[in-house]
Structure formats: structure tokens, C-alpha cells
Structure 1
Amino acid sequence: MRETERGPRGGLRRTMLAGMTALLLGFAGPVLAEAPAARRGGDVLAPASPEEVGLSSERLKGIGRVIEAEVAAGRLPGAVVMIARHGRLAFAESFGFRDRPAGEPLAKDAIFRIYSMTKPLVSVGAMMLVEDGALQLTDPVAKHLPDFKDLKVAVQKPNALGEVAYDLVPAERAPTVQDLLRHTAGLAYGEITTNPLVKAAYVKAGLYKPDFDYNTTDLTPEEFTSRIAAAPLAYQPGTVWQYSLAVDVLGRVIEKVSGKRLGAFLEERLFRPLGMTETGFSVPPEKAGRIALPLATDPATGAPNRLIDGAVPRNDSGGAGGYGTAADYLRFAQAMLDGGRLAGTRILSRKSVELMTSDHLGERIRPVATPGDLLMGVPGYTFGLGFMVRKEAGIAGVPGSAGEFMWAGYAGTFFWVDPREDLAVVIMTQAPGPSRAFYRRAFKQLVYAAIAD
């Protein structure tokens, strides 16, 4: 078994002794002689050449070639890509335009609407409250949000003519905080659900706007909570994985338990400790000129691209309301890779990170569409607490490792963390539409193709 080292600035070392220990313990995965969380603080995300961390500079050029070709073809406005390996920043480049009609290039510090990549941030915030002892995963949601008592479920029941119809029945059990984190609470997105009673209720409540996807920022926290609790559930709690407004509800739980607005809580407990100075639920007017803009229409469908505008919202949408830079999100991804710690600052325990990035669906919970099918059009993934998790090295039609975790955003942002490869990747673009799964697969292929050690 060969020995590999990092450069003189310190960090990862796989030793022959560690390898022999792994064999003796019967552990088939890679073992790090130095745990990621033990990296020296000054080295975390310090720049490194790709070759210093086992990547190929020549192969990484393929990322730029692909993105620039898509920009030239009018299919992407631009993108920022950042790659960290072994705790070092090995690739940080921007391509294309912040504002294509104006011909303004995209800078690496551009601000992006991260939409559903807000969910992992809020999920970590909830786990902080669990570690504080203020919240338990098994808590019924109604313990903290009383509107969620006595919920109804819209279920299929053939009518007297044998036709498909829907009826309301009582929920068999109360949804829990764990259900919110893993999208098994029975909630839905109006944009996704095929349950007609749920979709109609969400439209009436303003939880789904057919002309403006994934936007509930015009509702107050109280309006959002009361309206979604009054709508029927799409499934019995704990039985089905369906991507949903659950993390928006989780944000309301955090506000109730902490006594603070969601953005203020995350600023205090997550963003400021990790040095995420450009992340929040709105963009200050003086920074509005840095917001990356989508193309006016989607190249695949011709539909207009309509995205939230950066203004201060009436409520902080825990599922889709965040803004930030690629560099900020990489700091979050690296903290999760390093077991809940970045440069000496701990936000979560290693065991909480392990819990969040484990399989929470098992055999009992069936998905309407699997997390991998939804995100990238491939099988092979399950869901943890706030993250999609790869179950094994095979099955999925993209490279990766068992145990990698990730999520993405409606407007085109994407990140993943691969503990076995000691790798964290963030890609930011503003390209909503049906081509997102294609780009996510392409970026994964390009990054893994550059691993050269």
C-alpha cells in the first residue's frame, strides 16, 4: 500500500500503518491518518496547485471548455466553480457573464440565488438546536407549531363509479422534526405534486404560484404557518419521501424555539462563525450590482426565467430564500466535510454530521421519485437530514463515492461533498429549467475525471 502526502503546508497523510489498521479492523473504505477535523486552522481552504492535492491541471481545463461552449451557444449565462481537496482550494474560476445583454463578465464574488441550497443551511441550524437540547428529532411539529395539530391527508379512494377520486382522512400520526428534515412529513410542493386536492389548496393559500415557481416570500411567517397547516397532506407522515416545503416549516420551528428570525439565528450561529459574510436572505442595495442574472428565457423551453429579486422578504424562506457566493458556500461544505468544524470553529459535532449524512429512508419509506432521480436523473441515492446521500459506488450513472452528500438549487446552483476523496465542490450558475440535471451530471463527471492520484 503506497503512502501519499500533501505539501509542506500540512494536512492529509495516508500511511501504511493506517492502511494496515483498516485491514485488521475489517474496514473496506479509505482511512485518513489525520482526521479532516484536525487540519491546522491556517491551512483550511488555502490556495494550492491542483497537483499538490492530487488533481490534474490539464484535466480541470475541461470544466472551462464545457462551460464556455455552453455560454457561447446561449445555453448558460455563466458559472463560478470552486473545488477544494484535502482542505485546500485547488480551483476557483468564473466563466461567462453576470449580465449577458450588458456584456458584463461574471466575477468570482458574484452573488447567486441559491434557492434549495438554503435547505442544508437551515437543516444544520435545526441540528444546532438539537445539540443545544432545545429540540429533539422525535418532537411532533405541533409541539412547536400548534397549527399542525389534527392534520388531514388527501388520499385516493375510488368513487361509486370506480373512478379515481380523493378524500380527506385523519393523519395516522403526527409529523416530526425528523420528518421535516428528511421530507417525509407528507408535505409537498405545488410545483411537483400530482395530488389535485393538495395542489388546489396550495394555490388558494398562495403557497404555489403557477406563474412564479418556489416563491413564498410574500407571506408573513404566521400566514405561511397557518396556511400550510390548513392544507391537506399529500401522504401519511413517515411513509413517503416527497420533496416539499418541509424545510420552510422547519425554519418556522427554528424561529419558535430560538425566539429569533431565521436569518438572524443563522447569522449568529452559522454564517458569522464560518466567515460566510456574503450569505443571507436578502442582498443589501449596495451589493445588488453583484447579483448574477439568468438569461431572459430558458433556452430549452422558451419560458421566461423569473427569479426572486434580492429584496428583504416578508419571511425568510428556509427552503428557497437564500443568497450567497460560491466562496461562502464552499466554507460551509468544507465545514461539513471536516466533521462540523472549520479552521478551529466548531458548528456541529462529528456525530451530528454523521447522523445527517446517513440513510434516513431505509426500506420502510418509499420515494415518489428517488432523490437521485429528482436531482440528476439517476438512481443510487437516498436521503439523510437535509442532504441527498449516495448509497454505494455503483448504480448511479455518475462518478462518486459511497457516503457522498449533496444538494442543488432551482436556479442552477449545485454542491457536493465526497468524504472518501476529501473533496468539496460548489458550482454556481443562474439557469433554471429542465437542463439542470444534465449540467449536474456533466460537472460531476468533469471534476472526478481530474482526480489524478
Structure 2
Amino acid sequence: MSTPHGLQDLLDTHIARGPAPGAVALVARGDRVEVAAAGSATLAGSTPMRRNSVFRLASITKPVVAAAAMTLVEDGLIAPADPVAAWLPELASPLVVRTPQSPVDDVVSAVRPITLLDLLTFRAGYGFPSDFSLPAVAPLLTELKQGPPQPQAVPAPDAWMAALARIPLIHQPGEGWLYNTCADILGVLIARVADRPLDAYLAERIFEPLGMTDTGFAVPPAALDRFTGYYRAGEGGDPELVDAPDGQWSTPPAFLSGAGGLVSTVDDWYAFGRMLLADGLADDGRRVLAGESVRQMITDHLTADQRAASGLFTEGQGWGFGGSVDVEITAPYNVPGRYGWIGGTGTTAHVIPSTGTVAVLLTQTELAGPAAPQLMRDFWTYAAGAGASAGI
């Protein structure tokens, strides 16, 4: 599509084409903020999309949970090099498939313990590779309910960890980057190290200091009128309902997913992004993270071979803690140093430290695969470049 005249134009054009019923987007550079809302909160069309509409974040939950883990490091409760088995005894003696292609019963012992750093960088050995046909991937889907978020279907943390302990690693700890599962393990680890539920810890250390009043693992009754429907493209491209506003996120789940369980608004994630750009400070000057913690989060930790192997998900970009890090220019929207991620429910959020930019796009349509849809790509291009010519 041609370069949009503004963010509203970009959203209106894409929403008119479908299949997303609606979207809300925010692009901020410094003190200048542009926000647009288009379409409706549900297919019925009776509720227009608004700036404070609430969405299922899916995987842009991951940077938030990584930040919470870093607060534990700062408090001296755990260090990146620490084996996590002290808090996750289910992972004390992990087994690894002999080769990634081996059956799940052809295993060897892990050569070293899994550490916090392994979980933060998605190199613990658990998760999705580019090849979903590998035998050790199937139990992640069937037993752990990895994949598109379905919060009410996932067992409670202790039962989930017991199931995880029966599944072999695909790689030795530290050897390969694998998607998603490490963030869910990290959520359980945070709760056990902090000795309180994950939602309570996130509220205390992240949400309350940043004023993220609409962020959590369920939508309270008073906010359900702002909650959006969740859809996927059906036959012919028409959207089909996956979850209604009064569905799976209307009551707290047993498993609080650090990989993709949060609901939120553009302004709440924007507050989180501002904190990252401010070297860990909230708007009122309170310190949420140390500057060094932020720098570790937004720095690529992968080797060149690990980046190449993760290409289906990250398109060859790097990985920090909880999000990708652009390490080269491969298209107009790839800005070196850009940090953030995308979510399978149709969401994306990034910060660009070099320009002081926060860019958040929330839609309601499930991604068909790891590749980002055109709306996201056009939004990234706008946030990285076209926004500047629009005065942003």
C-alpha cells in the first residue's frame, strides 16, 4: 500500500479490507503521541473500537514478564547464572532427545543445569523450533497446551510443571533458541522465587508503579464492556469467533501464562515502553528497573547460528529478554536496536531507543503463523519512518 497520511488512515484502510474487525494503534516519539482507533470491538459492530479498548496481548506479555524476572535479580533473590532447579525441582535432571529429530524416548542427560539466563534468552531447550514436525514438539501442544492462548484449558502450575518434567528438551541447555515455552516456565519461576502468585507480583513491581490499571490475566466485570472479541480467519478469509468478551479471559485462569496470558490497552503497554526508554524509570521518577537490567533486556544475546536457526519466528533478528532485537536492516521497519515482539492474537509492541519511539498495535485477529501480517508490517514502516514526516 502507499505511504499513509497518518495512523488513522493506515488503520482505516486495513480494517476496510478485513479480516480484522477493528484495531487500536499508538505511535509516540518523545512527548508527541499519535493514537488511532478503527472498526468495532466485535463483529456485531455495536461497540466502536476506542483508545481504552482491552485486548488479549498474547506474546507481547513476554517483555513484561522478563522485566519482572529482572526485579528478582536486582533484589538478590536469584542471579542469571543460577540453576533454576532450586525453585523448580521438576527440572533438576532434565533429559534431552539425542538429536532434535529423535523420538521422545531416545534421550540423553542434560550436560549442565538450566539457568535463569537460559529461560530469559529462550535457550533452555524447551520450545518451538522452525520444524513443528519434530517428535518432541507434539507433547508441548497436547500436554502443556502451548500454542494459541486458551487460559481456561491449561492446568495449574504444579501440574503443568509435572507434565513438563516428562517432556525431553530438544536442545542441550544454552545450545539453541526455541520459542515460547521458556516464558511460561519463567512465569512459574517468578512466582516461586517471589513466594507469591505471578499476578500479585506483577501488580506490585510493574503494573502499579507504571499505572497499568487495565493490565492483568483476566478482565474484571466493570471493564468487560471495553473488552474486544477474538477472531481467526475462516474459510474465504471471513473472521470466525474464537473467544467472546465474556469468554476465557472473563475469569482468572488456574495457570497465569508468562508467555501470553495478559490483557491490556495501548496506553498501558505504552507506559511499559516509556519505562524502558527512560532507563527503568516510571513517569513519576520511581525506579522500576535498574538501567543495566533494561540494557540486558534490549540487547541481543544470540549467536549468529542461533539467529539463523530462529528465522521462522524472528526473521533472523536477535533476541534479548522477552523480545526480539533488530540487529541489522533488512527492510524499512527493521531499525537496529528496535526491541519488542508480536502476539498471536494480532498484537505488536516495540520500542526504538535510537529515536525514543514506542509503537503499539492491538488487533483481534489471530495470526495464521509466525510471519507477521501486512497490517503489522505497514504499521512498523510507519512507526519507523512515515511517522516522522507526520510530525511524530
TM over 0.5: yes
Q: 1:178 aligns with which of 114, 117, 123?
A: 117
Rounded to whole Å, the distance in 1 between the matches of 2:212 and 2:63 is 14
C-alpha displacement of 1:170: 1.3
Q: What amino acid is the match of 1:420?
A: S
Alignment of 1:211-360 (within 5 A): 213-215=148-150, 217=152, 218-295=154-231, 297-298=233-234, 304-307=240-243, 308-343=248-283, 344-360=285-301
Q: Which whole-Å CA distance do the structure 2 matches of 1:203 and 1:451 have between them?
A: 42
Equivalent position to 2:12, from 59, 68, 73: 68
Q: CA deviation at 1:326?
A: 0.6
Superposed CA RMSD: 2.4
| 8 Å CA contact retained: 1:152, 1:171 | yes
Higher deviation after alignment, 136-145 or 96-105 = 96-105
Amino acid at match of 1:389: V
Q: Work out which structure has the larger RCO, using CA pairs closer than 8 Å and 6 or more positions apart in sequence.
A: 2
| Counterpart Cα distance in 1 of 2:140 and 2:217 | 23
Could you tell me whether the CA contact under 8 Å between 1:198 and 1:232 is conserved in 2?
A: no
Shift of 1:304: 4.2
Aligned to 2:341: 407
Residue identity in the other structure for 2:148: D
Q: Secondary structure at the match of 1:125?
A: helix
Q: Does the aligned pair in 1 maintain the 2:298–2:339 contact within 8 Å?
A: yes
Q: Which residue in 2 is equivalent to 1:138?
A: 81
How far has the Cα of 1:194 moved from its partner? 2.7
Structure 1 counterpart of 2:127, from 170, 181, 188:
188
Change (3 A) 1:349 1:300: farther
Name which one, 1 or 2, has greater alpha-carbon Rg.
Answer: 1
> How far apart, CA to CA, are the structure 1 residues paired with 2:144 and 2:297?
31
Classify 1:73/1:204 alpha carbon distance in 2 versus 1 (closer, same or farther; 3 Å).
closer
SS at match of 2:41: strand
Bigger shift: 220-229 or 67-76? 67-76
Please give the alpha-carbon distance, in whole angstroms, between the structure 1 residues aligned to 2:232 and 2:171: 37
CA contact (8 A) 2:233 2:365 kept: no
- Specify the code of the residue in structure 1 equivalent to 2:278: D
- C-alpha change, 1:219 and 1:402, in structure 2 (3 Å) is same
Aligned residues: 378
SS in 1 for 2:242: coil
Q: Deviations over 1:234-279 (max 9, x none)?
A: 1111111111211111111111111110000000111000000110
**CA offset digits 1:67-110 (Å, max 9, x no partner):** 22222223221111112111x14201211111122332101100
Question: CA, structure 1 residues 109+216, in 2 after alignment: closer, same or farther (shift >3 Å)?
Answer: closer
Separation in 1 of the partners of 2:157 and 2:331?
40
Is 1:240–1:366's contact at 8 Å kept on the other side of the alignment? no
**Residues 301/271 of structure 1: CA separation in 2 closer, same or farther (3 Å cut):** same
Check whether the contact 2:15–2:23 (CA below 8 A) recurs between aligned residues.
no
Which residue in the other structure is 1:17 paired with?
A: none
Matched, 1:391 2:299: no
In 1, Cα distance between the equivalents of 2:236 and 2:82? Answer: 44
Which secondary structure does the structure 1 equivalent of 2:163 belong to?
A: helix
User: Structure 1 residues 315 and 355 mapped into 2: Cα distance closer, same or farther (>3 Å)?
Assistant: same
CA distance in 2, matches of 1:178, 1:277: 30
